[in-house]
Amino acid sequence: MTTLLATLFVLGVLVFVHELGHFLAAKRSGVRVERFSLGFPPKMIGKKIGDTEYMISWLPLGGYVKLTGESLEEEESQKPYSLQAKPAWVKAVIFAAGPFMNFVLALALLWGIFFVSGDVEVDRTKIVIGSVQPDSPAEKAGLQPGDIIISLNGQRITRFDSLAEKVYTRPGEAVELLWVSGNDTLRKTLVTMKEKSYNEKGETIFIGRIGIQQAFSRKPVGFFTAGERAGWTTIAFTGQVVRFVKGLFTREFSLKSMGGPVFISKIAGQEAARGFSQLLFFTALLSVNLALLNLFPIPALDGGHLLLLAVEGIIRRPISTKARAFITQIGFGLLLLLIVFVTYNDVMRLFQ
């Protein structure tokens, strides 16, 4: 139930904000909005207010805003309130407003998280244990919160990330740990847990873990400092997505590492179990992903519409309705193939 509610929350917020961007830009530009739908048909419930019917539909994989005059064949395509009657730059603003709002959402969520939760601070001079996973090798060896780890396999170590890196490379292996607990210095041999994971190429790998987390504290930050942190984090998210997409073309990353609705649902449930702020953080990351995905120059996506506007600007005439319909069909076909592929990846992960 937690996973289901978390998934509906995340997807609902992302889709609503994205479509709200198109809706507000269209209204501001004087374009009539005929339908505003969360989800795809068939319609579940709806109510018409003014010229717009507001709907919730049964397929929760997205949403859409239907504008008057999206096609030249519509009877009202040349009316003043029609999309086709507006100049190219107005159309571009309407199409770009959805992804823009997703960036705004990510920034706003992160801003709120940093302002409420503050910055995380850790002791970088020594490894202090913050928590111990139940029934883990660490708990069985007697490690407790507040203990200080001194060395691993006789090698002195002072940073948690260095410790984690060394343990990750030893799945199911024995490691010797030296630590301080109160006034006592203890030395024991632990056998690491062997956990399945995936590398950047989507291949199955195994990593070692002993079941501890580093102690940390939170330092309050001011409103503008929180905004600065949020801005840099949004930029970092954007860079990660761009690097991943680039890596798909250079084969640095495998197509198997792509995830779909099932994967999103699984992670949403996990993050919700860790706390509401973690779920909001995940929502911000997905919001950046959605913004960039919609800017891809694929017909049927916002980026595809912007590409067609650019082509029309170059050839100095509208693309014919027949050609536009053919291009859009190709775009929908590509999107359908992508959805099928990432869903296949999700199912294979479940079976593995």
Averaged confidence pLDDT in the chain: 88
Instruction: Tell me, rounded to whole angstroms, the distance of Cα 17 from its chain centroid.
Output: 14
| pLDDT of the residue at 286 | 94
| Paired tokens of 69 | 């005059």
Taking residues 274-300, what's their average pLDDT? Answer: 91
From 215, 245, 275, the end of a domain falls on: 215
Residue 245 lies in a domain: no
Q: What is the pLDDT of residue 37?
A: 94
Mean pLDDT of 290-311: 90
Written as one string, the DSSP assignment of 58-113 is EEEEEEEEEETTSSTTSTTTTSTTSGGGS-HHHHHHHHHHHHHHHHHHHHHHHHHH
Give domain status of residue 199, yes or no.
yes
Same domain, 88 and 113: yes
* Residue 18, domain member (yes or no): yes
- Give me the number of domains the chain comprises: 2
- 344 versus 244: the higher-pLDDT residue is 244
74 and 46 both lie in a single domain: yes
Are residues 109 and 62 part of one domain? yes
Please indicate, yes or no, whether residues 151 and 89 belong to a single structural domain of this protein.
no
C-alpha–C-alpha distance, residues 261 and 7, integer Å: 9
- Min mean pLDDT across 88-92, 280-284, 297-301 is at 297-301
- Residue 270: pLDDT band (50, 70, 90) is confident
pLDDT of residue 283: 95
What are residue 46's DSSP bridge partners?
55
Residue 76 has pLDDT above 80, yes or no: no
Check residue 292 and give its pLDDT: 94
User: Residue 327: pLDDT band by 50, 70, 90 thresholds?
Assistant: confident
Q: Are residues 7 and 109 in the same domain?
A: yes
Residue-level pLDDT at 246? 87
Q: What is the pLDDT, as a whole number, of residue 209?
A: 93
Using the 3D structure, point to which of 152, 182, 215 is the last residue of a domain. Answer: 215
Q: State percent of the chain over pLDDT 90.
A: 53
Whether residue 170 has pLDDT greater than 90 = yes
Average pLDDT score over residue span 115-142: 90
Q: Quick one: tokens of 224?
A: 């503008």
Catalytic, 19? Answer: yes
With respect to residue 61, please indicate whether it lies within any of the assigned structural domains. yes
pLDDT of residue 200: 65
Instruction: Give the model confidence (pLDDT) of 220-261 as tens digits.
Output: 999 999 999 999 999 999 999 999 888 888 877 777 777 777
Do 144 and 91 lie in one domain? The reply is no
Rg (CA), the chain: 25
pLDDT value of position 160:
92
Residues 65 and 85 in one domain: yes
Domain boundary among 152, 185, 215: 215
- What DSSP character marks residue 147? -
User: 282-318 burial, b for 16+ CB within 10 Å, e for fewer?
Assistant: bbbbbbbbbbbbbbeebbbbbbbbbbbbeeeeeeeee
Please indicate, yes or no, whether residues 144 and 188 belong to a single structural domain of this protein.
Answer: yes
Rounded distance between C-alpha atoms, residue 154 and residue 278, angstroms: 36
Q: Is residue 59 part of a domain?
A: yes
Higher pLDDT, 261 or 289: 289
Asked whether residue 150 is domain-assigned, the answer is: yes
The mean-pLDDT minimum among 73-77, 88-92, 96-100, 317-321 falls in 73-77
> How wide is the angle at C-alpha 7 spanned by C-alphas 200 and 245, nearest 5°?
30
Do the domain assignments include residue 106? yes
∠ CA 58-331-38, nearest 5°, is 25
Single out the catalytic residue among 19, 73, 76, 139: 19
Q: What is the rounded average pLDDT of the residues 343-352?
A: 73
Instruction: Please tell me the pTM assigned to this model.
Output: 0.84
Give phi and psi for 253, each to the nearest 5.
-115, 150
| φ, ψ (nearest 5 deg) of residue 142 | 100, 10
pLDDT in tens, 46-72: 999 998 999 999 887 788 999 998 776
Dump the DSSP string for 308-327: HHHHHHHHTSPPPHHHHHHH
- Band (pLDDT 50/70/90 cuts) for residue 324 is confident
CA 5 and chain centroid, separation: 17
How many other CB atoms are found less than 10 A from the CB of residue 63?
24
Q: Do 94 and 144 have their domain in common?
A: no
The whole-number pLDDT of residue 84 equals 84
- Structure confidence at residue 52 (pLDDT): 92
- Written as one string, the DSSP assignment of 247-297 is HHHHTSS-GGG---HHHHHHHHHHHHHH-HHHHHHHHHHHHHHHHHHHTSS
The CATH number given to whatever domain includes residue 169 is: 2.30.42.10
Full domain range(s) for residue 198:
123-215
Residue 241 within any structural domain of the chain: no
322 shares its domain with 346? yes
Residues 181 and 145 in one domain: yes
Across 89-98, 161-170, 331-340, least confident range: 331-340
- Asked whether residue 88 falls in the same domain as residue 193, the answer is no
